[in-house]
Structure 1
Amino acid sequence: MGKHLMPAVAMAAVSAVMPAAVIGAPRMDAAGAVEKLLGEVKQELDRVGNDVRKTAEQALDQAKKSGDVTAEVKQAADNLLSQFHSLSGAQQKLEGKLEALETRNLDLEQVVAQGLGGGAGSVQTLGQEIAESDALKAYVERGLQGSVVLRPSNVITTAAGSGGGVIWPDQERDPVNMPQQRLPLRALLSQASTESDVVKYAKQTTRANGAAMVAEGVAAPESSYGWTQTEVNVRKIAHVTHVSEEALADGGQLQALIDGELRYGVDLVEEMQMLAGDGTGQNLTGMVTEATAFSAPATLPNATRIDRLRLGLLQVALANYAANGITLHPTDWAAIELLKDTTGRYVFGNPNEQSTPRLWGLDVVPTLSHSAGSWMVGSFKMAATLYDRKETEVLISTEHDQNFVEGLVTMKATKRLALAIKRPAALVAGDFTFA
């Protein structure tokens, strides 16, 4: 039995003196050594199994002849069964180790086949690097005396040519677009639609009120009124952009993104025109252009932004209109909220609360369409009406210039509208310039 177990014993002895850096390393030749050892264990297991069967038959014969089994046979049977169980366990462990090594070798071979091997600059597997190490060869030549530490350089990293070949970046499909300005002014105005290119309306220009107390039999005084027909022209806001046919076909959501950008561009110009259009050329006549200029009463406080806005509201009220809003630049609104008294406490703003901007009981509409330092108060719905002739329309065509030849597509956004400032006195505009 000692003769049959020699290969296993020799392998165990070699493993005992092998350096720690080598034992268990995923060598390409380790699977062959384990397979050889497994074959020897299986052969020994077959031999022990035969001995067990022979011993069992011997014990059965003794029991038939004498009714008992000798102590020597019992001891031999116990020893053989112990060896059989030990060898069975060793076989299972070796089979598991062999399977693991074959799997690891297959993974390494696949990595090499995918471009990590070949040529002078190829990347070796960890097993190949250890097997070809000069330090290991010198250690074997010394008769496996002492110890050796192997530090492989074939480390898997995220670099190209290593583990990076199977590491893929995440990709977000939603683009990071530039910010868009809030456009709140349209909601302040009265809105209507028109089917014409000109909107006409009658505007009262005369009110001579002669009403008076009259005695019995005396003629009543006369009053006079007058209206003038006024008109505003429908104006057009438009712009175009050119996109290649390939970009639209391959970009997926590109068309929708451009559509949104074109619409935003038109709406942005609309807001700026509603606020400050000068009425020349194709410009609208905006609210600031038509509004009544601020005129401060000489006898009332006028030292802060809050004071001035309140005086503007007073001017609207003296014109017999009830203001419903305040518009100004966000910087000026921040300055109002940051006002403090002599003890450092906020006069108006409360940093512990988040609320809708309001001042003097009215909604405040901060907008970048205002220039910093300017403001307007008024009864906006009474003051102006916005007429939509055609809401924003986005068209796509290849019939522009050399589009057909060059493979381009033109996208055009168009809006048509008119703005009528019917009651200029209902609006008061000013600035925050203090003497």
Structure 2
Amino acid sequence: MSNFAKIRPIGRRKDGRPIYPIKGGAPTLIEQRDELVRLLQDPDFDGDVAELLQRADQVTAQIEQAQQRDARLRALQAAQLPAGDPQPQGGQRRNEPGMQPDDQGRQHPVSVAEAFVRSKALEAYKAGGMRGKIGVDFSQPIETRDAPAGTTTTATYPLQNTRVPGVIAENPDYPLLVADLLDQQTSDGTTLEYLRDISGPVTGVGTWNKAAVVAEGATKPMSGPFEFELITTTLKTVAHWVPITRQAADDNSQLMGYINGRLTYGLMYKRDREVLNGNGTTEMQGILTTPGIGTYQPGVGSTDAKLITVRKARTQAELALYPPDSVILNPMDWQDIELDTDDNGQFRVITSVQDAGAAMRLWGLRVVTTVAMAAGTALLGGFRAGATLWTRQGVTILMSDSHANFFVENTLVVLAEMRANVAVHTPAAFVEITFAAAT
């Protein structure tokens, strides 16, 4: 069959013969367009006009598609990388840990480790032979992961093949939730001054509320004066460091493991303990060591279960006019509450062990478990209303060889530190619980 026979006719002449766009082969788009224009302009054309118009629409669409393709090609050929952006190797950009975009596709770092690895300061430090020290300051929330401990060398920790994440390291990431319960603000200085409210119906200090119904023309009662105590303290530094060889520091993946696993996580772990138990002088101000917080303990000989004790402590907080939102428990005490059963062996807190993975709540309160809370005690309160975590310096990562004889040993110090303190401005918003001794 000839090429001519494969071409679809676009009409017929008066004598019945078919009309083809051109003779001798498949026409180009331009040839088809010109032939269609000629036929549409022909006043003597007596073929199928509807078919002619349909064919004209098809050719028009094909030409427009070809134009769009040509425009995309020219735009792609004209595109250039910004100055300083390294050219991809092998046509694809390396997908190294810490260098990939986050879950939303953003190219900026999503953790302290990734930001440090990508920082210009580290790039310049490596270019200068890793001498002296560098510092990079971060104040954004961070992610935490674990990594092996000790000084890493290329001999004891050789390069490994890339592996899909999912293997838990030797120490699991414990949830750090205590500090997240507080209102968090940024401080502009190193000294922190705030007013601590020591008035209220529970403390009995001050004429807290004298509001009353007043007859027309009568003198209105005066409340107060409200009683406040001026507290002056300083922001405390929390820090620690690890050694790492120059060779290992040049491996970004190992460096990220150090920063995430041992340094940034360790700071958050310590901060949680300070929020609860800091002595307020050489350490942060802990909520449990703040004068004026409420206390609740079942009476002598009480057999109240722990879940009942928490409910009664909530009532005491509500009587202080500071409705609680959360309760912090030691994991052992939370275990006793979850395993509490009625006379029929049914769990009181959860109806089925299959629900144990749901959000932990008790009497409408968010439950936070941490080993920073001593077993046999708990802290209940309105955390955002009662205290603020002030931070002057977020997590800062420093690297230097200026330590002992590290310079001649090709060893670097990687140090992480932060400065913060807790202002417990409304002690009455908290209730410390002491559970009844087991019988």
Q: Same fold (TM over 0.5)?
A: yes
Q: Does 1:185 pair with 2:169? A: no
Structure 1 residue 264, shift from structure 2 partner: 0.6
Q: Does 1:333 pair with 2:334? A: yes
Structure 1 residue 371, shift from structure 2 partner: 2.1
Larger displacement relative to structure 2 (195-204 or 292-301): 292-301
Query: Computing the radius of gyration over CA atoms, which structure comes out larger, 1 or 2?
Result: 1
What is the alpha-carbon distance in structure 2 between the residues aligned to residue 270 and residue 401 of structure 1? Answer: 29
Q: Which amino acid aligns with 1:352?
A: Q
1:323 alignment partner in structure 2 = 324
Structure 1 residue 246, shift from structure 2 partner: 2.6
Structure 1 residue 293, shift from structure 2 partner: 4.4
What is the alpha-carbon distance in structure 2 between the residues aligned to residue 373 and residue 297 of structure 1? Answer: 12
Distance 1:221 1:398, change over 3 A: same
What is the alpha-carbon distance in structure 2 between the residues aligned to residue 355 and residue 220 of structure 1? Answer: 52
What is the alpha-carbon distance in structure 2 between the residues aligned to residue 252 and residue 205 of structure 1? Answer: 52
2:193 alignment partner in structure 1 = 200
Q: Which amino acid aligns with 2:354?
A: N
Larger displacement relative to structure 2 (400-409 or 386-395): 400-409
Distance 1:295 1:331, change over 3 A: closer
What is the alpha-carbon distance in structure 1 between the residues aligned to residue 384 and residue 301 of structure 2? Answer: 28
What is the alpha-carbon distance in structure 2 between the residues aligned to residue 296 and residue 332 of structure 1? Answer: 15
Residue number among 382, 385, 396 corresponding to 1:379 in the alignment: 382
Aligned residues: 264
Q: Which structure 1 residue ranges, 5 or more long, are not aligned? A: 1-169
Contact 1:296-1:311 at 8 Å conserved across structures:
no
Distance 1:280 1:344, change over 3 A: same
What is the alpha-carbon distance in structure 2 between the residues aligned to residue 181 and residue 221 of structure 1? Answer: 53
Structure 1 residue 297, shift from structure 2 partner: 7.2
Contact 1:236-1:417 at 8 Å conserved across structures:
yes
Distance 1:334 1:242, change over 3 A: same
Deviations 1:118-157, CA, capped at 9 Å, x for gaps = xxxxxxxxxxxxxxxxxxxxxxxxxxxxxxxxxxxxxxxx
Matches within 5 A, 1:175-324: 176-205=169-198, 207-208=206-207, 209-211=209-211, 219-226=219-226, 227-249=228-250, 251-260=251-260, 261-281=262-282, 283-290=283-290, 292-296=293-297, 303-324=304-325
What is the alpha-carbon distance in structure 2 between the residues aligned to residue 401 and residue 370 of structure 1? Answer: 38
Distance 1:335 1:364, change over 3 A: same
What is the alpha-carbon distance in structure 2 between the residues aligned to residue 305 and residue 398 of structure 1? Answer: 53
Deviations 1:338-368, CA, capped at 9 Å, x for gaps = 1112222222222132421111112111222
Residue number among 351, 368, 380 corresponding to 1:365 in the alignment: 368
Contact 2:181-2:383 at 8 Å conserved across structures:
yes
Contact 1:292-1:425 at 8 Å conserved across structures:
yes
1:161 alignment partner in structure 2 = none
Matches within 5 A, 1:66-215: 173=163, 176-205=169-198, 207-208=206-207, 209-211=209-211
What is the alpha-carbon distance in structure 2 between the residues aligned to residue 300 and residue 356 of structure 1? Answer: 33
Structure 1 residue 299, shift from structure 2 partner: 12
Contact 1:324-1:378 at 8 Å conserved across structures:
yes
Report the aligned-residue RMSD.
Answer: 2.7
Deviations 1:294-352, CA, capped at 9 Å, x for gaps = 23576997610011101110110111111101110122112111111222222222213
1:65 alignment partner in structure 2 = none
Deviations 1:34-74, CA, capped at 9 Å, x for gaps = xxxxxxxxxxxxxxxxxxxxxxxxxxxxxxxxxxxxxxxxx
Distance 1:333 1:396, change over 3 A: same
Structure 2 counterpart SS, 1:386 = strand
1:43 alignment partner in structure 2 = none
Distance 1:302 1:240, change over 3 A: same
Contact 2:294-2:427 at 8 Å conserved across structures:
no
What is the alpha-carbon distance in structure 1 between the residues aligned to residue 348 and residue 222 of structure 2? Answer: 53
Distance 1:345 1:395, change over 3 A: same
Structure 2 counterpart SS, 1:306 = helix
Taking structure 1 as the reference length, the TM-score comes to 0.56
Q: Which amino acid aligns with 2:306?
A: R
Deviations 1:106-126, CA, capped at 9 Å, x for gaps = xxxxxxxxxxxxxxxxxxxxx
Distance 1:300 1:311, change over 3 A: farther
1:400 alignment partner in structure 2 = 403
Contact 1:325-1:377 at 8 Å conserved across structures:
yes
Q: Does 1:413 pair with 2:416? A: yes
Structure 2 counterpart SS, 1:311 = helix
What is the alpha-carbon distance in structure 1 between the residues aligned to residue 195 and residue 364 of structure 2? Answer: 33
Q: Which amino acid aligns with 2:195?
A: A
Structure 1 residue 210, shift from structure 2 partner: 4.9
What is the alpha-carbon distance in structure 1 between the residues aligned to residue 337 and residue 223 of structure 2? Answer: 47
Deviations 1:391-431, CA, capped at 9 Å, x for gaps = 11111111222221222101110100121001111101122
Q: Which amino acid aligns with 1:377?
A: L
What is the alpha-carbon distance in structure 1 between the residues aligned to residue 311 and residue 214 of structure 2? Answer: 40
What is the alpha-carbon distance in structure 2 between the residues aligned to residue 418 and residue 397 of structure 1? Answer: 27
Point out the structure with the larger helix share. Answer: 1
Matches within 5 A, 1:26-105: none
Residue number among 351, 354, 375 corresponding to 2:353 in the alignment: 351
Contact 1:262-1:412 at 8 Å conserved across structures:
yes
Distance 1:202 1:348, change over 3 A: closer
What is the alpha-carbon distance in structure 2 between the residues aligned to residue 182 and residue 254 of structure 1? Answer: 23
Distance 1:240 1:192, change over 3 A: same
Structure 1 residue 241, shift from structure 2 partner: 1.3
Structure 2 counterpart SS, 1:253 = helix
Distance 1:296 1:243, change over 3 A: closer
